[in-house]
Structure formats: C-alpha cells, structure tokens
Amino acid sequence: MIEIDRLAVELDAEAGIVRAIDGLALTLSRGETFALVGESGCGKSMTALALMRLLPESGLVTAGSVRLSGRDGGAAIEVLDLPESAMRRVRGARIGMIFQEPATSLNPVMRVGDQIVEAIEAHTPLRGAEARAMALQWLERVGIPEPARRLDDYPFRMSGGQKQRVMIAIALAAEPDFLVADEPTTALDVTIQAQVLDLLRDLQRERRMGLLLITHDLAVVAGMAQRVALMYAGQIVEVAPADEFFARPRHPYAQALLRALPRGAVRGGALQAIGGMVPPLTEAFTGCRFAPRCAHAHDACRAAPPALRPVARGREVRCVLEGAPTETVHADVFHRPRPAVAIEASGTEGANGAEGLVGATAERPAAARGGPLLDVQSLSIRFAVRGGALQRVRGHFDAVREVSFAIGRGETLALVGESGCGKTTTGKAIVQLMRGVAEVRGRILLQGADLLQMQGSALQEARRRVQIIFQDPFASLNPRMRVAELLEEGLVALRPDLDAGQRQRRIAELTGQVGLRAEALQRHPHEFSGGQRQRIAIARALAVQPELIVCDEPTSALDVSVQAQILNLLRELQRTLGVSYLFITHNIGVVEFMADRVAVMQGGRIVEQGPCPALLVRPDHAYTRQLLAAVPRIAVGA
C-alpha cells in the first residue's frame, strides 16, 4: 500500500505562503481504485506531485509522511526521505504517473516511440528492438490508430486525445505497482475513454495495480472507484465508499457538487452552480473553509475548524453539523462493468429508461430566422504528408471530407466524435487558422460572406465576430504575459472603439464571470491549475463580444461546479446577446444541456446530425449508437 499521513505542502508565491495541502491522510491498497475529487485549485494535483516528489521549486513538504510498501514482503520505505537517485528507481517502476497536461509533459523534440522506449529501457530489462516492439504494443493497447506509423511521429502532429493516450502508454509501459492518474481521461472521447478505463481495469486484475484516480469526471469515478475522497481548499472533507458517496453524500459541498452535474433533465433551465469560489489558500482559516458558500452554515461553523471524523463505517466527514446533513442525490449508480447509456443497439429506449435525456425537451427559440449565421458547405481539408531528410511531400491526408452544416443566431450545434476524427480541424478552419497550413476547399459563409475569400480589414472584422476557445489552454496562452495583458490584447486589436478605462472595466467584469479572483489578473499562466487556465481562455474569447464562438472542449479541464458556472454563463450570453456556439466536446452531459442540434463525425465526415434530444434517444447510425453506449453515466434518483 501507499500510506499518506498528515501531509502538508506549502508554496512560496508572490501573494504569500500558499498552504496547498493541509493535513492530508489517505491510504491506497494494491488492486484498489481510490478517487480524489474536488474543485480546481483544491490541491488534488499538488497531492500527486508531492507523492512523486515532483513539486515545483517553490513547493516544500512541511509535515507528514508518505510510506510505500516493500516488494516481496520487504520493509516499507519513507518516500520523502529517499535520495533522488533512489527516488528515480521508484518513479515509473513502483509508482507511475499520468500527468494532467500531455502537451507540457511530452518532449516536443522527441518522437513518441522514443519517449515510450525511454521509459521501458529505464525500468525493464528490454533494450533496442525488443523495447521498440513493446512500445508499439502499448500504442496499440491505448487505441492509437495506425500505431506503426505514429510511433515515429512528434507530439505536435497528434490531437489532444492522442497525446493523452501516448502519456498513458508511457506511464503504463513499465507496469508499475501503483499508478497516479491526474485527469487521465480529460482529453479523451467517450469510446477511447472506455477503452483506456478497461485497460486500467485489466492491469489491476492482472497485476493488482493500485490506482489513485484524480479527476473531476464524477461519472468516471462512479464506474471505476471503490473509495472516494472529496477535497476542498487543501483539505479532505469527505471519505466514503463510492456507492454510498453517490447515493447519500454527507458533506454539504458533496451535495452541492452532485446537484451541479449537467444533464438533459435540466435542459432549458439553469444548472445549480455553487455560489462563490474556493478561498485563497494564503489566508489563515478560523472556521470551516466551505462555510462562506454553504447553505447550512451557522455560528459553530465559523467558530473553529472542524475535524475529519467518522460518521459511519468507512465514512468520514469534516462537518460540525451533528451527524452531518444527509441528502439523497443520485440513488442509482451504474457500476462495474463499465456504465452504459440507456440505449440499445436498435436505437429504442433500453430497460433502464431514457427519460433523463428528454426530461425537458422544450427547445430555445429557433435561431434560423433570417438565414443561418454560419453556413459551412462541402468543407474539405487536406494536409501534406512529408518525409525524408528534405521533408518532401510523400502524400496527402484528408482530415475533413465534404462536411456541411449550418448554425443560426442564438443556436448551439454540438460536434461530437472520436479523437482525431476532424472536429478540432473543422473548428480551426472556421476561424481561419488553417491558412498556409493545409489545403482548404469548400465554402464557410458568415452571413453570406465567404470567410475563405476574405483579406485585410474584412478578415480582421470577421475575427472579432468569430472567436475560439482552444482545447489546450496552456499552449494557447502566452507564458510571458500576465492575465490582464492576455485579456486586454484582444480588446486592443479587435475593439479599438473602447478606451483604456472601458477595457479595464470589461476585464474586471469577465474575471468575475468566469470565477477568477481579481488578484489573478497580475499572475502568469503557469501559476494556475489546468481548470483555472481554461477559465482564462474562456474569458479571452468572450472579451470582444463575438457573435459565434467555436468552443473546442471548453469544459474538459473544469470541475463540476465551475463547469456549471461557465455553462450557465454561456447560456445567459446566448439568451441576452444571441451568441451562437459550435460546441466541440465529448461530454454527452454537456451536449444534453447545451445543444439544440448534434452533428456526429467519424473519419472526417459527418455521419449523422439532427435535433439534440431525438438524436441522443434514437440515433440512426451505428457509430452514434456505439458512441453513446460508451458514455459513463450517473443515473438520477429521486
């Protein structure tokens, strides 16, 4: 087992000492999946980094211990006391890690095959051709298409989901005893997610591998975990068996988190987002850290910090309320084997019922009056495939083939499909980011004007009207600029009608809307968690008040509560300003809540499209049925 006891981690930041982890204790056994969940910035990833001894230079473990059981009955070792040379033998071989952001974890100047081989040769007896053959097997196991060809690709040639799968292959290549998985399925579509989760389950059965699963995807937790720990502001506030956690959450924060899940039943309304935000961890707390956001808070909650105490067998809650409040939120959870959506292969309603998808099917007012805002006609995108020392063109790859769809004013079209099917490429072509990169054919009409033919000032004005939220916030934010500069940059370039004072007021308004504190404006992107960086990217896209936003996985890195806040914001902007969205996502719950229509892509083509509720309940195409059948779900109970 791995035993973490009273772990405390501090970070030396410009704003003061950040107490990122405060007295954390948990135990992970061989063969067990233990899920660590909570809001962005609560300390989940910092826990993983402390366990692996990979804290940033400003980070320091100030108290506690991390003990790792010995192999073959040997004595346990204190991980925090190991010299770095010994710790290198622990990382990878004993404890593997899947990092949250594959784009920053993969070496950009090494081929992906070489990076997997590097891990294999460091921790196993395999060398040379044998190590390369094993690397090829791992690419196959994690679902990379054409693995023999992709083995020699560089990371930048892969989609976000494919990079995530390479990261998983590297972490699993040495077959460690324990795996720390920090958001391992964030960038994966539902079919590959199901494949990867099945792979993790198989490895657990074969090797009794322990898994510390750090995620904000509660449906994945419901299908994978035996136990759950919920973190808030650096502390664990509830520990419970997974079934009981979803059936009867005891802490008010757990209850609020589950109510914030997007689903079809609340379609047409607003999600129950948690008010306020996580408090800054630089302050000294005198009471319960959740009290300012808690509907049950009273004087005792603010008087002294509550202890994490047992309330039932296997359950602990950090709450001063007697016995802790109980509330049935999700009474029925689909567990192992992998959760399945309630749709049979025939496309009719399954035995579990599909009423959750159609609980409120009233559509928002049709947006197509006066013609579509965006009309994509026969869009095809072809990339040149280069090779050899001189990088000559060896062939061509058709990423998008004859794609057509339209989006009206105030309408949301969800574009779904497997990683690498052409969704992101389509979105980038709409915002004119494929010029000079690929051959683009067809027409992209913005209120009748073809974006592919625009130049100069006309193109500049079109860029103001059409914005994009990129899939990878870290790669899309300039690391040398502060948040205030990042948000103002677009306003200066595309809104010359605003003076300096108006720009500052607009930036302050956006910061609050996306759930960031005012002091965040003076910080750089690397000082934020993945979810917080995603909020910055969303604020930057909203800054110039566009008419159409291409949202490329905008909520993939967001926890449930912030996701609810952002989705409510996007819906409110749509209601008040008539903003249209092309929503590229693999989160079917978000599709149910946000989309008017859905288009399903496979292999660069749209294979099915139609109204959201009807398509999700009764899909016609076999691929759509396969996609929906792979969706992990938490069924809503009374």
Which two three-digit tokens encode residue 458?
A: 């006309």
Judge whether 68 lies within some domain.
Answer: yes
CA distance 92 to 46: 18
Residue 355 has pLDDT above 60, yes or no: no
The 3-state DSSP class for residue 8 equals strand
Mean pLDDT of 566-573: 85
pLDDT of residue 161: 76
Dihedral sign for Cα 146, 151, 152, 153, please.
Answer: positive
Q: Decide which of 332, 357, 381 is a domain's last residue.
A: 332
Task: Kindly list the distances between the CA atom of residue 102 and the CA atoms of 162, 181, 306, 617, in Å, as whole numbers in the listed order.
Answer: 9, 12, 37, 34
Same domain, 491 and 566: yes
Asked if 222 and 634 count as a contact pair (C-beta separation under 8 A), the reply is yes
In the chain, the number of structural domains is: 3
CA distance 449 to 487: 28
What is the chain's percent helix, strand, coil content, to nearest 5? 35, 25, 40
Residue 344 or 146, more confident: 146
pLDDT of residue 100: 78
Q: Of the ranges 122-126, 373-377, 584-588, which one carries the lowest mean pLDDT score?
A: 584-588
Judge whether 95 lies within some domain.
Answer: yes
Same domain, 197 and 284: no
Judge whether 128 lies within some domain.
Answer: yes
Which two three-digit tokens encode residue 148?
A: 């023999």
Q: Decide which of 332, 353, 387 is a domain's last residue.
A: 332
Same domain, 218 and 252: no
Residue whose tokens read 């007012």: 365
Residue 29 has pLDDT above 70, yes or no: yes
Provide the residue range defining the domain that includes 272: 245-332
Same domain, 327 and 202: no
CA distance 456 to 549: 21
Which two three-digit tokens encode residue 544?
A: 């110039």
Same domain, 86 and 193: yes
Same domain, 149 and 187: yes
Asked if 625 and 343 count as a contact pair (C-beta separation under 8 A), the reply is yes
Residue 52 or 420, more confident: 52
CA distance 189 to 171: 20
Find the helix packing angle between 530-542 and 500-513, rounded to 10°: 140
Mean pLDDT of 479-495: 92
Q: Decide which of 225, 257, 283 is a domain's last residue.
A: 225
Same domain, 185 and 40: yes
CA distance 580 to 590: 16
Same domain, 434 and 555: yes
Same domain, 159 and 296: no
Same domain, 435 and 564: yes
Burial of 627 from C-beta contacts in 10 A (0-12 / 13-18 / 19+): buried
Judge whether 593 lies within some domain.
Answer: yes
Q: Of the ranges 308-322, 394-408, 443-457, which one carries the lowest mean pLDDT score?
A: 308-322
Same domain, 214 and 249: no
pLDDT tens string 61-87: 999 999 998 877 678 899 999 999 999
Judge whether 157 lies within some domain.
Answer: yes
Judge whether 575 lies within some domain.
Answer: yes
Residue 563 has pLDDT above 50, yes or no: yes
In Å, how far from its chain's centre is CA 244? 25
The closest of 164, 156, 204 to 184, measured between CA atoms, is 164
Dihedral sign for Cα 419, 423, 425, 427, please.
Answer: negative
In Å, how far from its chain's centre is CA 222? 16
Amino acid at residue number 258: L
Asked if 392 and 590 count as a contact pair (C-beta separation under 8 A), the reply is no
pTM of the model: 0.76
- Mean of the per-residue pLDDT values for the chain? 85
Task: Say if residue 611 is preceded by a cis peptide, omega within 30 of 0.
Answer: no
pLDDT of residue 106: 92
N-terminal to C-terminal alpha carbon distance within the chain? 38
Judge whether 359 lies within some domain.
Answer: no
Q: Specify the pairing of strand 439-446 against strand 374-387.
A: antiparallel
Same domain, 174 and 76: yes
CATH number at residue 211: 3.40.50.300
Most confident by average pLDDT, 341-355, 497-511, 561-575: 497-511
Judge whether 187 lies within some domain.
Answer: yes
Burial of 406 from C-beta contacts in 10 A (0-12 / 13-18 / 19+): middle
Residues in the chain: 638
